Structure 1
Amino acid sequence: MLLNIAICDDEDSSRKIMIEYIERILDIENYRISEYKSGEELLSNFPEVIDILLLDVQMGGLTGMQAAKEIRRFDTSVNIIFTTAFVDFMQEGYEVRAFRYLLKPIAYEDFKKHLLGCINSILESEKRHLAIKEIENGNIVRIPIDSILYVETESRYVLIHTDKKTYKSRMGISNIERELECTKFYRCHRCYLINLKKVEGMKQNSVLIKGEDIIVSRYKMKELRIQLTSILGEILC
């Protein structure tokens, strides 16, 4: 997994120290770092995906806490680690769901402990959620994998159907398939990716999921039956 790490701090020396720490902790091919000198710069150039945001609380202009509140309006999944010389912001940090606080000057062992803890949390979460960027409002949302019924292509977009709503994204269906490769999903057609656990029955050339007929390619029907047998413990005819 490639980690996208952003550092926002108005002190050059602080950003440099954190980058040096990251270089000591992680292999260079496993992460990508972006730097920002202010909350305004961060919000104006916010990357499409950030896994971890190291955010200074006290900066000139827009504070880190104010920036975090704005970020939470459109990105509920990024893990925020605040860096600060004071502990007066704990309650506000709770409001924006901060992952941790690091007190300045930041000690290497403390940084390593919290960074690795954050990464482990992300890896565990990735097993249970699919992160996408919605077309409608540009928000990044994390969809519980178990809630996904099926995914279908619609022109240049994909529709992700869940138990409660349908999400629309530019994320390709092949990319979603790769994200879900270790789960119980199956590409039954070039336009459909189905959750095998949600299949209610089979017809000659389709499966039934929550009352919807999903087309199955003829040459994939046999393999699909085998997949369903392993999931459901019986052959659906």
Structure 2
Amino acid sequence: MPAEARAPRGRSTLSIAIVEDDDRDRERLRTMLRQYETDSGVTIRLTEFEDGAAIIEGYQPLFDVIFLDIQMGGIDGMRAAEAIREVDASVILIFVTKTAQYAVGGYAVQALSYLLKPVSMFAVAGELDRSIAQLGRAEQTSILVGPRSSPRRVDVNDIVSIESRRHQIRLHTVDELLTFNATLQEFDDLLSPRGFSRSHSSFLVNLKHVVSIDGDECVMTTGDRVRISRSRKKLLLEELANHIGARLV
């Protein structure tokens, strides 16, 4: 299952999570987010969690922004952030805290900033404006792959090649192999505009990782060799030349 990582970066939609164990603080933040939605015209898909354990259980990297209370019983915001960062390097984390000293640890999990309680509408709107700006600047470089029940985020630049074998996809990255059910055509449609080429009916290669062409094989940066079919070799060579800015003579 290949899929775009999040909503399009035109920023007509934001997927936001609130992680807060205090009912009143959670309601206050929810109200402000809905007010921002009204004022800005941005549609907010809002999900709420009552503690850190709730968000990290079965966490999937589908949020744009997470507001995290630091001081919570059980799994606090900092520990939840560490668990989230293990599987999601892109989501924007904004800590909410009663005391500034607790926000110092945010550097370790690349938090965008922190808000002091009681949060104000001015502060929330400012952080959302900053988040939207950051999301707009960030290139969409990752996709979700794997079973729909447990997708993984993979950086497109780390994908070396994708192979279709016996109705399964074997996705080779620079340091691991992922196997799951999908079709190669899905990946071809998604990744061809991003510098990938169909070298064979069963293979898709990332032109960035092609070191050389040796006969009927692509030699990849990992040392792997990927087959090239006779019918696709000319187009592959043209696409590789265009990718590196060279000219075939």
State the TM-score, normalized to the length of structure 1: 0.75
1:199 equivalenced with 2:210 (yes/no): yes
1:185 equivalenced with 2:196 (yes/no): yes
How far is 1:195 from its partner?
A: 2.0
Worse-matched range after superposition: 1-10 or 171-180: 171-180
- Residues 133 and 169 of structure 1 are in contact (CA less than 8 Å); yes or no, is this contact kept in structure 2? no
Secondary structure at 2:100's aligned position in 1? coil
Superimposed CA distance per residue, residues 24-63 of structure 1 (whole angstroms, 9 cap, x where no aligned partner): 33533xx533221222222235335333211122334432
Q: Tell me the residue number matched to 1:90.
A: 103
Secondary structure at 1:200's aligned position in 2? strand
1:160 equivalenced with 2:175 (yes/no): no
Tell me, in whole angstroms, the C-alpha distance in 2 between the residues paired with 1:44 and 1:140: 15
Q: Unpaired runs of 5+ in structure 2?
A: 1-5, 8-13
Tell me, in whole angstroms, the C-alpha distance in 1 between the residues paired with 2:212 and 2:99: 59
User: Map of 1:62-101 to 2, 5 A cutoff?
Assistant: 62-101=75-114
Alignment coverage as a number of residue pairs = 228
How far is 1:91 from its partner?
A: 1.8
- Residues 77 and 142 of structure 1 are in contact (CA less than 8 Å); yes or no, is this contact kept in structure 2? no
- Residues 43 and 67 of structure 1 are in contact (CA less than 8 Å); yes or no, is this contact kept in structure 2? yes
Tell me, in whole angstroms, the C-alpha distance in 1 between the residues paired with 2:181 and 2:61: 12
- Of the candidates 43, 47, 53, which is equivalent to residue 34 of structure 1? 47
Q: Unpaired runs of 5+ in structure 1?
A: none
Decide whether aligned partners of structure 1 residues 101 and 36 sit closer, same or farther in structure 2, where only a CA change above 3 A counts. Answer: same
Q: Tell me the residue number matched to 2:11.
A: none
Give the counterpart letter for 1:78 in structure 2. V
Tell me, in whole angstroms, the C-alpha distance in 2 between the residues paired with 1:167 and 1:26: 42
Worse-matched range after superposition: 80-89 or 41-50: 41-50
Worse-matched range after superposition: 195-204 or 82-91: 195-204
Secondary structure at 1:229's aligned position in 2? helix
Runs of 4+ in structure 1 over 6 Å off: none
Q: Tell me the residue number matched to 2:242.
A: 230
- Larger RCO (CA under 8 A, 6+ residues apart): 2
